[in-house]
Amino acid sequence: MDDTNTTVGASNVGSRKRQRNRTKREEIKLKRNRTTTVKSFKNPCSHKGPTYCCSEINLGDVQEIRNSFNATNDKIQQDIKLCHFLSATAAERKRSIKNQPRKREFAVAYFIPKRLSKKKIQVCQAMFLRVLNICKDRVRRVAKVCFEGKIPKELRGGDRISKKHTHTKQNIRQFLDGLPAKESHYNRRKSKRVYLDCSLTMRKLFNLYIEQCAPELKTTKFDMFRNIFINEYNIGFSSPASDCCAQCMRLKYLKNKERDEDANKKIALELTMHKKSANAFYESMRSLSENSYTFCFDLQQVQPLPRTPINDSFYSHQVSLYNFCCVDIKAKSPTFYIWTEDQAGRGAEEIGSALFHHLNSLTLTDIYTLRLFCDGCGGQNRNSYIIHTLYYWLKFKAPTAVTEIIITYPVRGHSFLPADRVFGRVEKDLRKHPVLILKSDYETIYKSHGVVRSLDSGEENSWKIYNIKALEEKLKKMNGISDMKVISLKKATTGNVSVCGFQHFRFRTGTEKYTTLSKPQSRGILQSDWKVRVLESQRGIPEKKKKSLGNLLTKQFGNDWKNDKNLAWYNDLLHRQPINNMEDETAEPCDCLSEENAVHI
């Protein structure tokens, strides 16, 4: 949820989401007025005589006259059509009966046209009303107009009730417009849906409105308040946040706790500057420049293999499936790099290799600058190995026109990226599939959202892992990378690449200088001298996890699961010997959870 505060009235624009379900009262009303289908039509009579020939009317005739009658929603136009289906004549016989109401002045004959011959068949009143699905009083009023030789006109008084409540509705709108709200991270430009505090409900809002409104408005009904809330506003109630910034929460707590006015202002200023620094990252990501291409990359949370809903899976070890996503800032056309833990870990070499493959697959016509955005996880994104990868690509693999790469890291705790929107769409689909057995099952779901590249799959779009850490032999580590917000790599006309780090998103102190990372002995050497080779993508899993995984497979698929051809991959995995020099992907220090004390704008 975005921390930027706004009001409901300031953001109530654009399209709205699906309306809420109808109440039980509304459903009954809709069912009462709903037109029955032709299939459910039943003949109410069995007239076969010379006067009423109801038995000659079939379902085709009923469908034909209904389509003609319901072609328009205008009541007057429908009444004019009714005049063609009935005949009103003066009553021929009038008898006076004691204690009986006055007899009608005219008699009505009802006709239904045949579908093919267009011949009008006279039917009884019950049949006529059932065919058109209208009430007797309406037909009687139209017949009276025909008998008087007039044309049906609109005589209804119109809406005389809503004008009485104009002042009440306007007060409700003013109340809703002034409510404090927040926009969601997932908002689109055309749909400005805002969210109220998670502690509120529609009934609580109504009670708050009644408490503060004028005495003459305290009789307002909840149904009126609910209809305006649902139909005129695009607002909802937020869910309790689970990924809040630790520094934001700490400063908010201290601000509410502090009673000293000067100390409170100091804390409020620190909180404001922290939020401005966080917003500077998003403003930088949204800014577009000519002849540049912008994309972000991020690693999704680990997905389990097999994915199963049984209770034992919660306590069992499963094979981890990793998904690395590269996508543009509009969250369109994502590319997924997928692998499992028996192939590789999720450290800097895996992330750097996937990023290297993605850079090589881009079509960069007339592009001079690449802008990259990612979170600040030190073990994966914010480290010298990723900078070395970008250095190597820019020096040897980049198109001639590309002369600069800019990678930007967010403020810790405020690292929502467009890739997270893609992950949200994927996880929404994953929830619909409680059972996923193989890696290919996951790939099928990911393919519905973007391009899937599987590690060492043998396919054309597969990718490989390179020994990126070997670049340390030629390149120096970048000092102070954990404090940098922006890192720029520039290629000169001579082909040399220089690097510079900045501690602020927009401001420059003037002390930053571009320097080369190449070690003295590696300057001027050819690409073939850089020992970047492909690593083996098969390492196995620990013995403890094998035992737990085997027990889970037995509980899910039975004792004979090893004979199942669909589960042959698991059987091979359990018999594979793990490589002893497996590196722990969490060995690199990660600073994405620690707090920042400085302000970076």
Among 132, 157, 180, residue at a domain's last position: 132
Residues 393, 395, 396, 398, Cα dihedral to 10°: 60
Residue partners of 530: CB distance under 8 A and separation at least 6: 392, 396, 471, 474, 522
Residue 97, amino acid: I
**146 domain-assigned:** no
Q: Do 267 and 288 reside in the same domain of the chain? A: no
- The pLDDT > 70 percentage for the chain reads 86
Could you say which DSSP state residue 266 is in?
H
Question: Range of 84's domain?
Answer: 36-132
pLDDT at 239 over 80: no
Of 490, 492, 495, residue with least CA distance to 524: 495
- Is the bond leading into 399 cis (omega within 30 degrees of zero)? no
Q: Do 381 and 498 reside in the same domain of the chain? A: yes
pLDDT at 573 over 90: no
Q: Give dist(CA 42, CA 525) in Å, integer.
A: 91
> What are the structure tokens assigned to 287, written together?
């800014």
Q: Do 101 and 190 reside in the same domain of the chain? A: no
CB 336 within 8 A of CB 453: yes
More confident: 240 or 498: 498
pLDDT at 592 over 50: no
Q: Identify the band that residue 210 occupies on the pLDDT scale cut at 50, 70 and 90.
A: very high
Among 539, 555, 587, residue at a domain's last position: 539
Q: Give dist(CA 231, CA 439) in Å, integer.
A: 44
Q: What share of the chain is helix, strand, coil (3-state, %, to 5)?
A: 40, 15, 45
Q: Give dist(CA 517, CA 472) in Å, integer.
A: 10
- The confidence score (pLDDT) of residue 396 equals 87
Name the average pLDDT for the chain.
Answer: 83
**139 domain-assigned:** no
**590 domain-assigned:** no
Q: Give dist(CA 156, CA 74) in Å, integer.
A: 13
Q: Identify the band that residue 446 occupies on the pLDDT scale cut at 50, 70 and 90.
A: very high
**511 domain-assigned:** yes
Q: Do 186 and 125 reside in the same domain of the chain? A: no
Residues 280, 282, 284, 287, Cα dihedral to 10°: -130
> What are the structure tokens assigned to 423, written together?
């992950």
Query: For the residues 483-505, what does the mean pLDDT come to?
Result: 87
pLDDT at 109 over 90: yes
More confident: 42 or 10: 42
Residue 378, amino acid: G
**208 domain-assigned:** yes
Q: Give dist(CA 250, CA 417) in Å, integer.
A: 23
Q: Do 503 and 378 reside in the same domain of the chain? A: yes
- Ramachandran region of residue 456, left (φ > 0), alpha (ψ -120 to 50) or beta? left
> What are the structure tokens assigned to 485, written together?
């917000």
Report the relative pairing of strands 319-328 and 292-299 from DSSP bridges. Answer: antiparallel
Of 389, 344, 353, residue with least CA distance to 581: 344
Of 589, 241, 244, residue with least CA distance to 414: 244
Helix axes 568-575, 543-557, angle to 10 degrees: 150
Query: For the residues 352-356, what does the mean pLDDT come to?
Result: 91
The region of weakest confidence among 200-209, 270-279, 360-369 is 270-279
- The confidence score (pLDDT) of residue 3 equals 56
More confident: 112 or 382: 112
Q: Identify the band that residue 587 occupies on the pLDDT scale cut at 50, 70 and 90.
A: very low
Of 445, 442, 436, 437, residue with least CA distance to 455: 442
CB 40 within 8 A of CB 53: no
**587 domain-assigned:** no
Q: What is the pLDDT of residues 52-86, one digit of tens each?
A: 988 888 888 888 888 888 888 888 999 999 999 99
Q: Give dist(CA 585, CA 594) in Å, integer.
A: 19
Residue 90, amino acid: A
**495 domain-assigned:** yes
Q: Do 506 and 372 reside in the same domain of the chain? A: yes
- Is the bond leading into 306 cis (omega within 30 degrees of zero)? yes
Strands (E), 60-142: 86-90, 106-113, 120-123
What would the DSSP string read from start to end of 322-333? EEEEEEETT--S
Q: Do 259 and 315 reside in the same domain of the chain? A: no
Q: Do 259 and 340 reside in the same domain of the chain? A: no
The region of weakest confidence among 398-412, 428-442, 520-534, 535-549 is 520-534
Q: Do 107 and 224 reside in the same domain of the chain? A: no
- The confidence score (pLDDT) of residue 123 equals 92
- The confidence score (pLDDT) of residue 582 equals 47
CB 505 within 8 A of CB 486: yes
Q: What is the pLDDT of residues 134-146, one digit of tens each?
A: 889 999 999 999 9
Q: Identify the band that residue 588 occupies on the pLDDT scale cut at 50, 70 and 90.
A: very low
Q: Do 224 and 199 reside in the same domain of the chain? A: yes
Helix axes 202-212, 166-177, angle to 10 degrees: 110
Q: Do 180 and 299 reside in the same domain of the chain? A: no
CB 238 within 8 A of CB 195: yes
Among 211, 237, 263, residue at a domain's last position: 237
> What are the structure tokens assigned to 99, written together?
């204690």
Q: Identify the band that residue 443 occupies on the pLDDT scale cut at 50, 70 and 90.
A: very high
pLDDT at 581 over 60: no
Query: For the residues 419-444, what does the mean pLDDT come to?
Result: 90
**113 domain-assigned:** yes
As for how many domains the chain has, the answer is 4
Q: Do 258 and 299 reside in the same domain of the chain? A: no
